[in-house]
Amino acid sequence: MNSFELIAPCHFGLESVLKREIVNLGYNINNVEDGRVTFAGDEEAVCRSNIFLRTTERVLIKIGKFKAVTFDELFENVKKLPWEDYIPQDGRFWVTKATSVKSKLFSTSDIQSIVKKAIVDRMKSIYNKEWFEESGISYPIRVFLNKDEVTIALDTTGESLHKRGYRRMTSKAPITETLAAALIMLTPWRKDRILVDPFCGSGTFPIEAAMIAANIAPGINREFTSEEWNNIINKKWWYHAIDEANDIMETSIDVDIQGYDIDGDIVKAARRNAQDAGVEHMIHFQQRPVSGLSHPKPYGFIITNPPYGERLEEKENLRELYEVFGRQYKDLDKWSAFVITAYENAERDMGIKASKNRKIYNGMMKTYFYQFMGEKPPKRRKQENSQ
């Protein structure tokens, strides 16, 4: 079986969550960097990582790493890599994305062009051909430059892993599925605890929570580019991973997960999304303003992404919105709240000091993950065996 060094990118600030996921899948971590975790894996690991990891954007096979400060160095180093081990003669290949940070080579379009030319040059010499029709399977390539160090990799995923396949309808400012899952996993919430999202939008937080509770693998209902890479990954490993995902699923469990939104059309969309995700029976969605936030039971959780004033009409009402949110939260009995927002006055307007405040980048936007910790429930007494 082929062995690889795999790269899993993630949101900046959430590397620890992804690392824990990878370790729980049974793989050894090689390196953790800003927005990226590298680990060792085989063919089966590629399949299982794509299907089971909730918090990465994609899974990449690292082809090489080297330093380059000129385009000549970039060309020659790319050409040295064993591309014939990965791309067949009729393979369709291109550099789908290049990024450059603090590097002398910064023109991403030039980087993409030169990497492609270098691979073609290598293939010409190996396959003794002057022209490649590229009529076969797709092999997308990604290139990262950081402080003149180049990492080049094959993208096994294709469309980003945040696209689980269930979210057809979105709210105005949706949070991605991978980010939502990572934030839930940062909290102490477990499936036997109440969870409410009073600004649920298209339902991403409640749906991801339900999928976590039911052990539904996030990639079980979608396709991946590398499914067709029979020259690299034996098809049987995809079947094994899907069988594993089906075996561990528990959709009949009882949970208390709720999502509210003031917009009735968005609530309908959230219900449809939950239905497509197979968890509609696990979530109670309701059209309700944040002023109606309440629950009779103690020790629950709020995990939410309230508006933060990206549009002018929102900015005018932000203070009042957060004041109402804070007032309703204070009336809940021993609850914890976890709030991701770019609104810097969230604590002030809610009238509560957060226990923790974690900075997380949502794309290029700096956001704050405020953690308001409530009391822990008393530990349940273990049932003594009467026999």
pLDDT one digit per residue (tens) for the chain, 387 residues? 899 999 999 999 899 999 999 999 999 999 999 999 999 999 999 999 999 999 999 999 999 999 999 999 999 999 999 999 999 999 999 999 999 999 999 999 999 999 999 999 999 999 998 999 999 999 999 999 999 999 999 999 999 999 998 887 665 557 899 999 999 999 999 999 999 999 999 999 999 999 999 999 999 999 999 999 999 999 999 999 999 999 999 999 999 999 999 999 999 999 999 999 999 999 999 999 999 999 999 999 999 999 886 654 566 789 999 999 999 999 999 999 999 999 999 999 999 999 999 999 887 788 999 999 999 998 864 444 444
The rounded Cα 281 to chain-centroid distance in angstroms is 24
pTM for this prediction? 0.93
The predicted structure's pLDDT at residue 170: 60
What confidence score (pLDDT) does residue 380 get? 63
Number of H helices, E strands in the chain: 11, 14
C-alpha dihedral sign at 342, 344, 347, 353: positive
Count how many Cα atoms sit within 13 Å of the Cα of residue 152 in the half-sphere of its side chain: 29
pLDDT of residue 171: 56
- Report yes or no: 351 and 327 within 8 Å, Cβ to Cβ: yes
* pLDDT of amino acid 9: 97
In this structure, the chain runs to a length of 387
Residue ranges with strand state E in the chain: 3-9, 29-33, 36-42, 60-67, 92-101, 138-146, 149-155, 195-197, 257-261, 283-287, 301-304, 336-341, 356-362, 365-372
Instruction: Please state the separation of Cα 301 from the chain's center in Å.
Output: 21
State both tokens at 76.
């020659």
pLDDT at 313: 53
* Contact (CB, 8 A) for 74 and 105: yes
